[in-house]
Amino acid sequence: MRKTAAERAAYLIALKPRARRALLGKMSLSQKKKLSHYWELWAHEGQLPPANA
């Protein structure tokens, strides 16, 4: 079963910084550009909806 973009982003966010950097280092430029459009990755806490919403 294929993972959704949100599931893949959650996996990336959950990684420890060193593992995240290693994974990002293996990604193509195109893949990294797609991440820049997934705002949940870089939004600060005040920009995200409440967890129970």
15 assigned to some structural domain: yes
28 falls in which pLDDT band (50, 70, 90)? very high
* pLDDT tens column, 1-13: 788 877 888 888 8
Q: How many domains does the chain have?
A: 1
pTM (global) more than 0.85: no
Parent domain of 21: 5-41
CA quadruple 53, 20, 35, 50: dihedral, nearest 10: 10
Residue 20 lies in a domain: yes
Phi, psi angle pair for 40, to nearest 5°: -60, -25
Tally of CB atoms within 10 A around 30: 7
